[in-house]
Amino acid sequence: MAGHGAGDGRSPPSPLEEPVARGSSRSLSRAHRRRATVRAAAALLLCGAAVPACASSSEHRPDRAASASARQSALQASAAAKKKAEKKAELARLLPGMPPPLDPHDLYAADGPGKLSRTVKDYPSRVYVPNTLSDTVSVIDPKKFKVVRTIQVGHQPQHVVPSWDLKTLWVNNDLGNTLTPINPANGRVGRPVDVHDPYNLYFTPDGKYAVVMASMDRALVFRDAHTMKVIKSVPVDCYGVNHADFSPDGRYFIVSCEFSGELLKVDTAKKKVIAKQRLPIAGAMPQDVKISPNGKTWYIADMVANGLWVLNGDTFGKPRLLPTGKGTHGLYVSRDSRSMYVSNRGEGTISVLSFKSGKLVRRWRLPGGGSPDMGGVSTDGKVLWLSGRYNAEVYAIDTRTGRLRARIPVGGGPHGLAVYPQPGRYSLGHTGIFR
């Protein structure tokens, strides 16, 4: 044992040293593996987290575009749904059966230059003039500016009124207690229809009823729009019902009473007077009634007040007076819905009102004077036609310059003349209120 130990000069390793050395090597290897595994896992985690951020922009541009497109589609769908709901609510407010307005901001959108409906597009263009003192209707060719025919009608014809369906012209023979029908397609005159005291005539927006302004009878008489059979007679306690116009939704209309200086508000569906007011001036004599294109303002001509009463029809509050000229009488909207022509019968002038400003912007004077009364605007909007009530003549006035283009002799006491055909889908009556 001693020789062996002295032979190499080293002590033999302890039985415990080698295992310790081997164990240290394995431990170190495991530590390296653990660190490598940790690094690999960390790398994987980093890579996984970085995928969305590190991916190329070309890979995710479609996702962003799709998201933006989806948002845009959602906004469009929401706007469409809102518009549809508003349209539905608007239709629900209308008098049942009436055609909805083409444009809620312009009641006269259907009345633009040349916008003739299929019903009337082939009718010959004529001006029909009722002569109250001659018991005739003078028919004028507007291109030739001359009378081409005279029709004998009933006693004291006051107005020529286009029917709701545009197919008939009704001559209101006030003292003759009849309506004379004229076919505007061929000029044929039909058999008179018995209607008592037809001073003026209107039609409800749904086309169901004619409303006779029975001035002397002091009544608003609702009749079948085609047969003229009485449906309901509504007594009124004012004097001289004569002119009217309807609200945008057709639910009510406002009537002028010329001999007592009053206005009536009438519920269309109920056929009932729901409000009345006296105009705030002694001796007021209201005439024609017209609503603004936006449906918010009403204008009532007054021959004694020499101007227009400006009224909020919904509230039916106290109106204010806008002076225009002596003997203010007829009101006619221009084809572009921007202006209204106001005839001042007592001084031979026509005032032009701007709907936008609510102010008078021009005044045209008839050379040599005259008595401009009732009428209408030509299909193209270039000529304003008015009867000369006390002068047995008709005036053709250029709407661009105010120049008198023609002065045409007719019968005695010409009154509510109708220019026909005119643009529009249906007629509310009088000498032609079209929508």
CA 281 to centroid of chain Cα atoms: 32
The token duo for 310 is 């400006």
Residue 421 preceded by cis peptide, ω within 30:
yes
The token duo for 419 is 């220019």
Tell me how far apart the alpha carbons of residues 213 and 208 are, in angstroms, rounded to a whole number. Answer: 16
0.85 cut: is pTM over it?
no
Contact at 8 Å (CB) between 329 and 268?
no
Contact at 8 Å (CB) between 233 and 222?
yes
List per-residue pLDDT tens for the chain, 435 residues long. 444 444 444 444 443 334 444 444 444 455 555 555 545 544 444 444 444 444 444 445 557 777 888 888 888 888 877 777 766 777 789 999 999 999 999 999 999 999 999 999 999 999 999 999 999 999 999 999 999 999 999 999 999 999 999 999 999 999 999 999 999 999 999 999 999 999 999 999 999 999 999 999 999 999 999 999 999 999 999 999 999 999 999 999 999 999 999 999 999 999 999 999 999 999 999 999 999 999 999 999 999 999 999 999 999 999 999 999 999 999 999 999 999 999 999 999 999 999 999 999 999 999 999 999 999 999 999 999 999 999 999 999 999 999 999 999 999 999 999 999 999 999 999 999 999
